């Protein structure tokens, strides 16, 4: 089971000093990521938007794959590196997995119908949201990945009440 460790100080200028707004986990290996994904899966609600931030190879897709498996999805989960979006139905939820690393233009956003996917029903998990700055809706939660010599550290930041509820469940 991944071990929670003390909250980092709230980010300056984020308008929050709520102790519940940040939570970090050390994911020592992929098994720890899978265990954490199981906990995260049980906190998901329809319509949530989750941004996944971190360098290439930081473990974002690995977490989404584990999350889908935790929700009962048994098919292949491939990275949306070239398709930009892969969609799933699992655990009673509709999930949209975006990877916007190769995203180029606002026109592409509209033409692909990405805006319509953020419909308050789909759970949207977005890798590289910064590549479509101003187009991707605000995140309920942001998960920041840091590559360690062994494993990964993740910090989860909640930006909305829904996100904070999620964090509270993860803390318990
Ligand atoms: N908790 C972990 N501990 C150790 N290695 C991990 C962990 N999570 C993922 N990895 C490894 O990191 C590698 C890259 O993972 P992944 O493809 O998920 O990264 P990514 O953040 O989605 O990258 P990209 O930005 O290129 O899409 C994989 O080989 C995976 O096995
Ligand atoms: Mg990825």
So what's the pLDDT on residue 20? 56
Q: Is 146 in the pocket of ligand 1 (CB under 6 A)?
A: no
pLDDT of residue 2: 54
**Rounded distance, CA 171 to CA 20, Å?**
9
In this predicted structure, what is the pLDDT of residue 172?
Answer: 80
Ligand 1, atom 11, lies closest to the CA of 59
CA 79 to chain centre: 14
pTM: 0.90
Mean pLDDT by 10 residues, the chain (172 residues): 47 42 95 98 97 98 98 97 97 98 95 97 98 96 98 97 95 84
17 C-alpha to ligand 1 centroid (Å): 31
- H helix intervals, the chain: 30-41, 60-70, 106-111, 114-117, 161-171
Q: Which residues pair with 25 in a beta bridge?
A: 4, 154
Q: Give the pLDDT of residue 23.
A: 95
Q: Long-range pairs for 1-6 at CB < 8 Å and ≥24 separation?
A: 1/32, 1/35, 2/26, 2/27, 2/28, 2/32, 2/35, 2/36, 4/170, 4/171
Structural domains present in the chain: 20-114+122-167 (3.40.50.300)
Question: What is residue 18's predicted lDDT score, i.e. its pLDDT?
Answer: 54
Tokens of 170: 């993860």
Cβ–ligand 1 distance for 130 under 6 Å, the answer no
Q: Which residues, other chains included, contact 94 with Cβ-Cβ below 8 Å and sequence gap of 6+?
A: 46, 87, 88, 121, 122, 123
Indicate if ligand 1 lies below 6 Å from the C-beta of 27.
yes
Q: Give the three-class secondary structure for 53.
A: strand
Ligand lying nearest the CA atom of residue 59:
1
């Amino acid at each position: 089971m991944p071990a929670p460790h003390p909250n980092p100080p709230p980010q300056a200028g984020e308008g929050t000093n709520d102790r519940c707004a940040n939570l970090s986990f050390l994911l020592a290996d992929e098994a720890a990521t899978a265990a954490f994904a199981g906990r995260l899966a049980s906190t998901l609600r329809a319509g949530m938007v989750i941004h996944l931030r971190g360098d290439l190879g930081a473990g974002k897709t690995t977490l989404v794959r584990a999350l889908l498996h935790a929700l009962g999805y048994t098919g292949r989960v491939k990275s949306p590196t070239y398709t930009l979006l892969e969609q799933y139905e699992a655990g009673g939820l509709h999930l949209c997995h975006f990877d916007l690393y190769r995203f180029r233009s606002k026109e592409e956003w509209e033409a692909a119908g990405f805006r319509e996917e953020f419909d308050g029903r789909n759970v949207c998990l977005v890798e590289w949201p910064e590549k479509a700055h101003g187009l991707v809706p605000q995140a309920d939660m942001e998960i920041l990945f840091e590559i360690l010599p062994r494993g990964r550290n993740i910090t989860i930041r909640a930006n909305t009440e829904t996100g904070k509820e999620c964090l509270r469940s993860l803390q318990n």
